[in-house]
């Protein structure tokens, strides 16, 4: 049973809220540079405004679990973050990192090359590299953890369907969530990155993103995102 839990880049705070409810005896801290979390929370949960890339002020050897999810465009120095995590974990504590890498693929060759959908992934990687926050870092996490001194490092790579194409009921539901996320949740981030970071033409982006939104609905395209 964890006693102290740290949620890095907590965002809306939804993960920290769920964990605080599940482990009522644990003290949970949700840290983020943006104070967008709810004000009224469980007594065992505290949100703090922190830049997790700066030197941490929390006590060393104080957390049983440190968790970070989808911080890919937020972190420039992953080795430092991982080292600080190790220093602030109790002996036997755990660091868990999760992140998706939009290297869209299919195992049966049904993902065409040159689609607007695939182009969106390249835009993501280009803008990530431009701001110094590689979008492919999760592929290096295992070696980074081992180099920092972590033991028993485990890497699990999952395949997230990009639309409800699978026959499996659970995977079909995951695919439905993923396609909704792409069609309705990422345009502003991609548009801002393409125009402001890469200096691209906003009209071109609007046309290609509209095409990508239509392409991703094709259930004959058995594509997935590595997570």
- Using CA atoms, how far residue 34 sits from 5, 53, 54, 83, 189, in Å, is 19, 14, 14, 23, 16
- The DSSP letter of residue 197 is I
User: What pLDDT shows up at residue 127?
Assistant: 92
The partner residues of 6 in beta bridges, in order of sequence, read 29, 66
- The DSSP letter of residue 124 is H
User: What pLDDT shows up at residue 146?
Assistant: 97
The answer to whether 7 touches 16, Cβ cutoff 8 Å, is yes
DSSP per residue, the chain: --SEEEEET-TT-HHHHHHHHH-TTSEEEEEESS--S-SS--TTEEEEE--TTSPP-SPTT-EEEEEEES-TTT-S-HHHHHHHHHHHEEEEEEEEEE------EESSS-S-TT-HHHHHHHHHHHHHHHTT--TTGGGGHHHHHHHHT-SS------EEESSS--SSHHHHHHHHHHHHHHHHHSHHHHHHIIIIIS---HHHHHHHHHHHHHHTT-TT--EEEE-
User: What pLDDT shows up at residue 24?
Assistant: 94
Q: Splitting the chain (227 residues) into consecutive groups of 10 residues, what average pLDDT does each group show?
A: 93 94 95 91 94 95 96 90 98 95 92 91 92 91 97 95 95 93 84 92 94 93 91
User: What pLDDT shows up at residue 72?
Assistant: 77
């Amino acid at each position: 049973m964890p006693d102290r839990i740290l949620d890095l880049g907590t965002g809306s705070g939804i993960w920290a809220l769920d964990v605080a409810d599940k482990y009522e005896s644990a003290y949970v801290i949700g840290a983020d540079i943006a104070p967008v979390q709810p004000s009224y929370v469980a007594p065992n949960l505290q949100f703090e405004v922190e830049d997790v890339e700066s030197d941490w002020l929390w006590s060393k050897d104080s957390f049983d679990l440190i968790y970070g999810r989808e911080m890919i465009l937020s972190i420039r120095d992953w080795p430092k973050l991982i080292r600080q995590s190790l220093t602030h974990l109790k002996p036997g504590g755990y660091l868990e990192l999760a992140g998706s890498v939009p290297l869209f693929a299919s195992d049966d060759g049904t993902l065409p090359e040159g689609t607007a959908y695939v182009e969106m992934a390249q835009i993501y990687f280009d803008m990530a590299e431009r701001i110094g926050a590689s979008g492919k870092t999760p592929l290096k996490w295992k070696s980074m953890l081992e180099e920092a001194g972590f033991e028993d490092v485990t890497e699990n790579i999952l395949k997230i369907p990009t639309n409800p194409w699978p026959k499996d009921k659970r995977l079909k539901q995951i695919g439905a969530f993923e396609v909704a996320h792409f069609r309705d949740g990422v345009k502003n981030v991609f548009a801002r990155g393409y125009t402001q970071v890469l200096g691209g033409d906003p009209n071109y982006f609007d046309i290609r993103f509209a095409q990508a939104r239509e392409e991703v609905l094709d259930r004959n395209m058995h594509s997935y995102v590595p997570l």
